[in-house]
């Protein structure tokens, strides 16, 4: 359990947030408007709004910040966001997130809605693709069920790619780093019919021998992937059409878990949890993954007088094949052969007010058709071709097929009660019908269920001055129930109470945004995997009730010319308030009452600095550094298996001209190694984080 000192610290942070919210308007009143910081416009609430006028905690990464921080993947911006954590898993293209005390569960939706150019993706497998040609990333915190529905139980991540331009432009970027890692990316954009029809094409190819080595010295995390994305856009006086498509294909890794050593008493050595190189991966099979992604979307915007009608149609599919060790020992015992296929069709139609009056509103409908197919074969390694032959003498042989059809209706309206006070009301109803079957079972195990949820939202915001906004919010979210290897689990629901403020001070040289929140979490979803010589099983269970209280604080400052500073603190203190007997694989969990939820760090802290040094006309040296610290967290319900707090440093040093730059960069420069997963069932299987990476890059723009 949390020590008294740590508990008092987090309580003090919460108290200071509330007190600051009540007292800062007096300071803000003395500040004069300024343009020290570029005004940021966000669209994460499905309309264009000024960041500082949105009564929500939103972390924004502009194109310039993405380049300075060398953000090329999900981890790149997650590590710069308070109260957000990313964890590697045992295969390349699945990544788990924890936001504000709510963690990913294998086989379930992520705890955040993940949206790319208006299309909401269908699962964890879609969210870990390379980021390139990105205009803006917005991380919206707190349940966003009204606008995004199932999966937005903790928040939403909204990514906007760069639009086609009316003038010819482009860029090419190349980088090379340790482990013989290289990446080439390019983009070109311009008009097909000037002022009317535009196109943009971008793509990349990357290859790496892999940063992690096995105990025998073999590189076990190699990757290569090629991707291309295209966008065709028509812009008329009232009508805007956008057709977007992408394709990615590549090879990766899987199944590189190692086994935590035992102590002298024969139990798991809790002091060696983070000693991920002891012993390191010792399996006799080097796991591989083959993956392809395809997606296409079509967006229509038509502007009537005072109302915009938007239609977004999207289709995405992923095909993944994994093969690797199943017992994770040097002996040729067990292999696993896994296929993950998913097809997702989305359709959203919404109506958005665009007038200048006190009433602003949005309403619409959403439909999704999704199919998941998981082919799982676990058995004895092939006697003559262990590295690629199908397992025999099957421990597990399943083809699990889940079909789901979901629809929702939603609406949200805000009204200016006075010139300072605004009230917002939102409501959404989600309906998710699923059926599941192991089609290889001798006896039919077909099952079906319907998961529904009503999600209201209430909010009051008060604009004390032009530069200071305070707000109070009640919001709800849910993560749909489902099936894991034919076992049903229930909806997860969150009820969030939040008090926050946004302020600009000292002639806009300083912005401070903060909130304190309490979340009542019901039926928290927790996944687990059982791996024994005779059993290989995935499962998911529900924890009846968990309380989460915490805070977010983000500060941006420009104390002197050419120096930009950012800092953020996130606190999430979780307490299990009700527990019932769960799957036998998890053991006796009665002592989990009053303990912390697994996979949730108690705090995160990040600090970043960018300093620009002009060296001549049109040439600058740009120095950027980031520091990240996150608290330790537990892997099991009874809080015995824990990774410790960790520190991470990243940086980039660039020489920039008007249309070119050369840079050196490094990530995890301290080479901090930690476990990101240890089996919840106590069988000692462990996943390590990635070690230090570094390299050089060059960019040319035209």
pLDDT tens-digit readout, 69-108: 999 988 899 999 999 999 888 777 778 899 999 998 877 7
Strand locations in 90-165 (E): 95-99, 102-103, 112-116, 119-120, 134-141, 155-161
Dist. CA 540–CA 567, nearest whole Å: 36
Judged against a pLDDT cut of 90, whether residue 395 lies above it is answered with no
pLDDT of residue 484: 83
Q: Which two tokens stand for residue 684?
A: 């000692």
Dist. CA 441–CA 435, nearest whole Å: 15
Task: Give the three-class secondary structure for 257.
Answer: coil
Q: Of 477, 536, 31, which is closest to residue 326 (Cα–Cα)?
A: 536
pLDDT tens-digit readout, 247-276: 999 999 999 999 999 999 988 999 999 999
Count Cβ atoms below 10 Å from residue 268 Cβ, excluding itself: 21
Dist. CA 10–CA 461, nearest whole Å: 25
Judged against a pLDDT cut of 60, whether residue 2 lies above it is answered with no
pLDDT of residue 680: 82
pLDDT of residue 37: 64
Looking at residues 161-186, what average pLDDT do you find? 97
Tell me the domains of the chain and their CATH numbers: 4-355+363-701 (2.40.170.20)
Q: Which residue has the tokens 């939103």?
A: 58
- pLDDT, greater one: 26 or 558: 558
Q: Cβ distance 557 to 610 under 8 Å?
A: no
pLDDT of residue 92: 79
Looking at every residue in the chain, the average pLDDT score rounds to 91
Task: Give the three-class secondary structure for 347.
Answer: strand
Q: Which two tokens stand for residue 415?
A: 């009204």
Count Cβ atoms below 10 Å from residue 446 Cβ, excluding itself: 12
Looking at residues 390-411, what average pLDDT do you find? 90
Looking at residues 686-690, what average pLDDT do you find? 94
Q: Cβ distance 561 to 536 under 8 Å?
A: no
Q: Which two tokens stand for residue 595?
A: 């303990």
Query: pTM value?
Result: 0.92
Looking at residues 25-30, what average pLDDT do you find? 38
């Amino acid at each position: 359990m949390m020590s008294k000192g740590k508990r008092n610290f987090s309580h003090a942070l919460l108290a200071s947030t509330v007190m600051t919210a009540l007292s800062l308007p007096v300071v803000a009143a003395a500040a004069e408007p300024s343009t020290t910081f570029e005004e940021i416009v966000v669209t994460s609430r499905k309309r264009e709004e000024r960041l500082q006028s949105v009564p929500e905690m939103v972390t924004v990464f502009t194109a310039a910040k993405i380049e300075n921080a060398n953000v090329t993947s999900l981890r790149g911006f997650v590590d710069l966001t308070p109260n957000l954590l990313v964890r590697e898993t045992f295969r390349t293209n699945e990544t788990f997130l924890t936001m504000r005390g709510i963690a990913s569960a294998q086989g379930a939706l992520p705890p955040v809605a993940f949206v790319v150019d208006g299309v909401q993706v269908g699962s964890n497998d879609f969210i870990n693709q390379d980021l390139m040609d990105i205009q803006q990333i917005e991380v919206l915190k707190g349940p966003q069920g009204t606008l995004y529905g199932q999966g937005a139980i903790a928040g939403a991540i909204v990514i906007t790619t760069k639009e086609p331009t009316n003038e010819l432009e482009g860029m090419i970027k190349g980088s090379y780093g340790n482990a013989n890692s290289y990446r080439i990316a390019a983009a070109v954009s311009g008009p097909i019919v000037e002022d009317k029809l535009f196109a943009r094409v971008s793509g990349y190819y990357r290859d790496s021998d892999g940063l992690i080595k096995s105990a025998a010295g073999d590189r076990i995390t190699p990757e290569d992937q090629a991707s291309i994305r295209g966008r065709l856009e028509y812009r008329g006086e009232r009508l805007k059409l956008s057709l977007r498509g992408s394709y990615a294909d590549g090879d990766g890794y899987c199944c590189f878990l190692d086994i935590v050593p035992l102590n002298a008493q024969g139990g798991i050595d809790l002091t060696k949890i983070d000693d991920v190189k002891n012993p390191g991966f010792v399996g006799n099979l080097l796991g591989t993954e083959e993956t392809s992604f395809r997606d296409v979307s079509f967006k229509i915007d038509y502007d009537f007088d005072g109302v915009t009608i938007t239609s977004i149609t999207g289709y995405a599919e992923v095909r993944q094949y994994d093969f690797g060790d199943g017992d994770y020992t040097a002996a040729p015992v067990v292999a696993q052969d896994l296929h993950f296929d998913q097809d997702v069709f989305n359709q959203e139609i919404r109506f958005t007010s665009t007038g200048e009056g006190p009433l602003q509103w949005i309403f619409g409908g959403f439909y999704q058709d999704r199919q998941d197919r998981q082919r799982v074969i676990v058995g004895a390694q092939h006697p003559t071709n262990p590295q690629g032959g199908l397992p025999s003498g099957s421990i597990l042989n399943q083809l699990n097929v889940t079909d789901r059809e979901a629809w929702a209706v939603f609406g949200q309206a805000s009204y200016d009660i006075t010139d300072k006070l605004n009230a917002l009301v939102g409501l959404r109803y989600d309906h998710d019908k699923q059926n599941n079957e192991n089609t290889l079972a001798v006896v039919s195990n077909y099952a079906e269920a319907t998961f529904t949820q009503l999600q209201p939202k209430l909010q009051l915001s008060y604009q004390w001055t032009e530069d200071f906004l305070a707000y109070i919010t009640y919001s709800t979210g849910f993560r749909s129930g489902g099936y894991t290897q034919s076992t049903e689990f229930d909806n997860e629901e969150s009820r969030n109470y939040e008090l926050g403020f946004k302020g600009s001070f000292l002639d806009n040289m300083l912005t401070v945004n903060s909130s304190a929140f309490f979340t009542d979490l019901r039926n928290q979803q927790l996944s687990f995997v059982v791996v024994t010589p005779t059993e290989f099983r995935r499962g998911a269970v529900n924890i009846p009730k968990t309380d989460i209280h915490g805070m977010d604080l983000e500060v941006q400052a420009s104390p002197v010319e050419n120096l930009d500073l950012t800092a953020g603190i996130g606190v999430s203190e979780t307490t299990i308030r009700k527990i019932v007997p769960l799957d036998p694989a998890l053991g006796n969990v009665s002592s989990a009452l009053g303990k912390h939820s697994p996979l949730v760090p108690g705090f995160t802290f990040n600090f970043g600095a960018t300093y620009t040094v002009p060296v001549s006309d049109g040439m600058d040296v740009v120095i950027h550094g980031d520091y990240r610290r996150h608290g330790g967290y537990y892997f099991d319900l009874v809080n015995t298996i824990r990774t410790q707090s960790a520190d991470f440093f990243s940086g980039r040093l660039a020489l920039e001209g008007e249309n070119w730059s050369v840079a050196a960069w490094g990530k995890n420069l301290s080479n901090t190694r930690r476990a990101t997963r240890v089996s919840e069932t106590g069988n000692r299987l462990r996943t390590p984080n990635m070690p230090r990476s570094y390299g050089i890059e060059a960019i040319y723009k035209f």
